[in-house]
Every structure is written in C-alpha cells, then in structure tokens.
Amino acid sequence: MKPKSWRKPGYDPIPEAVERLGKQVLDAAFQVHKALGPGFVEKVYEEALCVELAARGIHFERQKAVQIFYREQLIGIHRLDLLIGEAVIVEVKAVEQLLPVHEAQLLSYLSATGLRLGYLLNFNSSLLKNGIRRIVR
C-alpha cells in the first residue's frame, strides 16, 4: 500500500529559498514592531521596514507597479507595498484587525504577479504574531 501524501493534487511546495526570504522578512518585521510598537500609520511601518530590510542587505522594491489585465487588456496599475527579492509580496497594514478583504487583496496581487507567497503584516497589533497572515497561492 502506498503511503498517503500530505500534498493536495496540483500543489507544489514553496521553494526553500523563497521560504527563507519570507522568514527574513518576518524577522525584520518583528524588529520594527519591537522598536516602534503599535499606534502609527502604515507608511511609518513601511518606511521602518524598508530601513530594516536595507540594513540586513535584503533586496526589495517599494511601491512596485503591477499591471492588471482583463481579457488581455490593460485595465489598471496597482502598487504593491513591498516586493521582496522578486519573490514575496508584503502588504503593510495598521488597522484594528485584519479582515477577509485584506486577504483577498493579497491573493489578487499574488495572482496578478504570478507569485506564490505573500504576507499581510498588521503592525497595529499589541503582539505582531497576532497580526501576521501568510497567504500562499
């Protein structure tokens, strides 16, 4: 008898290098939250996270423009908060609580870019670990 696979049909695991990059982003986010705590607006956390990523030598693009197509027609451009190492999308939030619409937004960004891993980081949480959502497409 063949052992049952834990993988869903059609599911490919996230590459190890991308997972490592995601961990580095989370480490940087924890450092920012430890220093600043909750209470600021999103742009403050985005800026601080960029400073921390740069200090760690992690390649990122801020406010990366992504083209949105419908029926092969360009219908708009959206800007990602952070694109890390051309592999991980990070959306920075400073809200009372993360909502399903935030997760849907990130999932749409992953689909539009063809990327698989993204993080919602809500810095307005007393404990950052409660404000993290990992989204895999």
pLDDT in tens, 78-94: 999 999 999 999 999 99
The pLDDT value given to residue 2: 42
pLDDT in tens, 2-53: 444 445 555 789 999 999 999 999 999 999 999 999 999 999 999 999 999 9
The total of other beta-carbon atoms located within 10 Å of residue 21's CB is 21
The pLDDT value given to residue 127: 96
The total of other beta-carbon atoms located within 10 Å of residue 11's CB is 9
Determine the Cα–Cα distance for residues 22 and 90; give it in Å rounded to an integer: 9
The pLDDT value given to residue 8: 52
The pLDDT value given to residue 10: 59
Per-residue pLDDT, averaged over 43-65, amounts to 98
Per-residue pLDDT, averaged over 100-112, amounts to 95
- Higher pLDDT pick, 9 / 112: 112
The counts of H helices and E strands in the chain are 3, 5
The pLDDT value given to residue 18: 97
**Strands laid side by side in the 132-136 sheet:** 60-70, 73-84, 88-93, 117-122, 132-136
The pLDDT value given to residue 12: 87
The total of other beta-carbon atoms located within 10 Å of residue 73's CB is 7
The pLDDT value given to residue 137: 92
Q: Where are the domains of the chain?
A: 16-136
Determine the Cα–Cα distance for residues 94 and 122; give it in Å rounded to an integer: 5
What pTM was estimated for this model as a whole?
Answer: 0.90
